[in-house]
Amino acid sequence: MTGEDPEGVKEEDDLKPNPAWKIAMVGVPVFLVLSTAWAIWGSWKKSQVEVVDPRLALASSAADVEEMEDHLYKLSQLLGKRDWESSKGRTNMRRAITFIESTLSPRNYGFSIKRGEHLAHEGDRWPTVWVNLKGTVEPKEVVLVDASYDVSDAAVAVVLAVANDLRDEKLSKTVRFVFHPARLYFAQEGKDLGDVLEPDESHQATLEPDLPGESGVAPEPGRWNGAQLKPVADALAQKVRELAR
């Protein structure tokens, strides 16, 4: 007989690693990694939803003097002079388009940006940009509110202000805020803003800011200020309400 000590065998077995502890030592870190990854993914997914949720934007407000002043400064001073003749002027035009889109975007005024009707100039394509305030009763009836991004800083500032003013209102008809390159529309025979309508939509009216002397004139830095534009924006917003209700 070998005379093995049962107690000794038991003590030796006790010294062996417990399989449950092995599982715990491996499983807990893996669980922590997976749960952290899941939390990060969930946060990222939520942020993506927020980006496209128009109701996460800043609260709407009536045309604000300081905000229009800020828009005018950025368009006429910060972004640089826009024109079609020079490369720098066209670059500044692109910057103005980006500014318009970022101002209207879900994170700011709460709209989803639409682009279309690209027109050619000097080998490049130039978009018409618009956003929709969807009608609640007659969404296929559309009122266009227009500003030319290559002509008037003031008109752009006013239409942006009106879009922010009206964006939480429930109007019967759809209101479409449109920003287009006026010179390219004029140069292309038969082109007009009605082209931004869908085939099943009906054009009710086109409204523009009432800015005497602005039509077809290049932007003039310092010509307007926020206080001057406030009554223009308020009047335009009221016209839109009357036509779209």
pLDDT at 14: 52
Which residue from 106, 226, 206 is spatially nearest to 148, judged by alpha carbons?
A: 206
Which residue from 110, 167, 159, 158 is spatially nearest to 134, judged by alpha carbons?
A: 167
Which residue from 211, 222, 226, 86 is spatially nearest to 148, judged by alpha carbons?
A: 211
Positions in the chain whose pLDDT score sits under 50 = 1, 9-10, 32-33, 36-37, 39-56, 58, 60
Q: 3-state DSSP call for residue 159?
A: helix
Contact 89, 83 (CB under 8 A): yes
Which residue from 86, 67, 85 is spatially nearest to 75, judged by alpha carbons?
A: 67
Average pLDDT of every residue of the chain: 81
pLDDT in tens, 67-97: 999 999 999 889 988 999 999 999 999 999 9
